[in-house]
Amino acid sequence: MAGNKDLLLGLIREGRHISRGQRVQLTLLLCGPAIMAQLASVLLEFIDASMVGSLGAAASASIGLVSTTTWIFNGFCIALGQGFSVQLAHRVGAGDFFGARSILRQGMLVVIAFSLILALAGVAIAEPLPRWLGGEASIRPDASAYFLIYAAFLPFMQIGLYGSTMLECSGEMLVPSVLYIVMCVLDVIFNFLLIFPTREVSAFGIEFTMPGAGMGVMGAALGTGIAEVIAGILMMWVLLFRNKNLRIVGEKGSFVPTRECMAKAFDVTGPMWVQNLVMRGAYVASTLIVAPLGAVAIAANSFAIIAESFCYMPGYGMGDAATTLVGQSLGAGRKDLARSFSRITLGLGVGMMSSLAVLMYFFAPQIMALLSVDPDVVALGARCLRLEAFAEAGYAASIVAYAACVGAGDTKIPTVLNFVSVWIVRIGLALLLTPKYGLMGYWIAMFVELNVRGLLMVLRISGTKWLKTKLTEQEI
């Protein structure tokens, strides 16, 4: 399988003919490991969330309250790495592996310095953040503690993300996916030991004492952080010492970023940072809209979002493939092939997410029951999921089409389109509907917006202007 993938990627770099069947095969080979990693992530996130959910609605709400802010910080880390990984994909597509390794070295220094600054900022705002977000006084201490621990581990998360995106854009999907699965498994193990107190457990008719730290919400944050440390170190070890195309051991080269590299990186990253503020800022605004509805609504909203991620798996896996294939095709100077891969990944992503949406609709109550023992939370969350099942096709289109644009270095116009969709459509409708219909009002607004966003992004990649960027340096 790996050899076949490398052979097909070689056809792109060598300018040779690649049939439609081979394009579909290559797309599936690349997205397969990423989808499996997403599946493991979702399943283990379910287990993780159910552990916290067993502590009650207040514990779940404390994490849900700051989750949108963690998404903002995550988004900054992801966007910075993409500024360098897209350049690397173009170099790999052109067969310039020495240049790819040069990009890798230059990006390392930047992302490490940035993550340390971001971690300090997170630590500084941890105490007042829940109050700023309008959380109830009863859940603020746990929410602050959770965010503080999250922020302290940010540099390790950034290192892992950087290593993962670099490997993926070089065409290596399996290793980062396996390591991500390992991280998720470790997360659940550490959380199991840190969240709950020492207790008597019965399994297969055998009773024994299970040790535990009894840290509650803080244990959930610490368990995730330790898992990120291990995964981040392993990811960088594979990237720098083991990968045949990107390892830099024994090779001389500067880690100081050049002006050209930084300019190209921030031409991609800058709009993505703006988009991060646009998208995640809207999520924070959504938290402010939902927070006054009470702990049950906050918990139902948080768990429903986690449950909906059951449908995200193929979308984000296909998005990873789209970024890699479009980037390498453009690096090889094959823009028609880049357009073809954008359409193939879009069609497959929409089809897969739509299929999972059908299952989510029929099994919504059962899925929510895995996450919470509170019947009110389960009932409200199930209603939200059944509505959102009809927006998954549009959401898939927005995920994959945007990822294709990132592969081309086209991030400015998509950011504008996302701003219009999220702030005008979603937040505008939510302000009108939530006071009247409660949490369902907010999810109705989200349902409309996801379909609008998908349509806008499909229209963007239906033309050719998105392929004309500073990174491609060629006219169509």
107 domain-assigned: yes
- How does DSSP assign 79-117, residue by residue? HHHHHHHHHHHHHHHTT-HHHHHHHHHHHHHHHHHHHHH
Indicate the residue type of 442: Y
How do the pLDDT tens digits run along the chain, 476 residues long? 555 888 888 888 888 999 999 999 999 888 888 777 667 666 666 666 677 777 777 887 888 788 778 878 888 888 899 899 999 999 999 999 999 999 999 999 999 999 999 999 999 999 999 998 888 888 899 999 999 999 999 999 999 989 999 998 898 888 888 898 898 889 888 988 998 888 877 767 778 788 888 898 899 889 989 999 999 999 999 999 999 899 998 888 889 999 999 999 998 899 988 888 888 778 778 878 988 898 889 889 988 988 888 788 889 889 989 999 999 999 999 999 999 999 999 999 999 999 999 999 999 999 899 878 889 999 999 999 999 999 999 999 999 999 999 999 898 999 999 999 999 999 999 999 999 999 999 999 999 999 999 999 999 999 888 988 666 554 33
Residue 406: phi and psi, rounded to 5, are -60, -40
Considering the domain boundaries, does residue 26 fall inside one? yes
Report in angstroms the alpha-carbon separations of 373 from 56, 90, 366, 386. Answer: 8, 49, 11, 19
Confidence (pTM): 0.83
Query: What secondary structure letter does DSSP report for 463?
Result: S
- Two tokens, residue 362: 């029929």
Query: Per the structure block, which two tokens stand in for 245?
Result: 């195309």
pLDDT of residue 470: 62
SS (H, E, C) 219-273: HHHHHHHHHHHHHHHHHHHHHHHHCCCCCCCCCCCCCCCCHHHHHHHHHHHHHHH
472, part of any domain: no
**448 found inside a domain:** yes
Task: Let me know if residue 44 belongs to a domain.
Answer: yes
Q: What angle do CA 182, 142, 184 make, to 5 degrees?
A: 5
Contact 331, 91 (CB under 8 A): yes
473 domain-assigned: no
475 domain residue, yes or no: no
Residue 199 belongs to what H/E stretch?
A: strand 197-203
> Exposure pattern of 286-311 as b/e (b: 16+ CB <10 Å)?
bbebbbebebbbbbbbbbbbbbbbbb
- pLDDT score recorded for residue 476: 36
Residues spanned by the domain of 363? 2-467
Take residue 104 and report the two structure tokens written for it.
């890798």
Judge contact between 242 and 167, C-beta under 8 A: no
**pLDDT, position 41:** 62
Tokens of 139: 């859940």
DSSP 400-449: HHHHHHHHHT--HHHHHHHHIIIIIIIIHHHHHHHHHHTHHHHHHHHHHH
Number of domains in the chain: 1
Query: What is the C-alpha separation between 58 and 45, in angstroms, rounded?
Result: 18
- Residue 46 is predicted with a pLDDT of 63
Round to whole Å and give the CA distance between 147 and 313. 26
Residue 474 maps to a domain: no
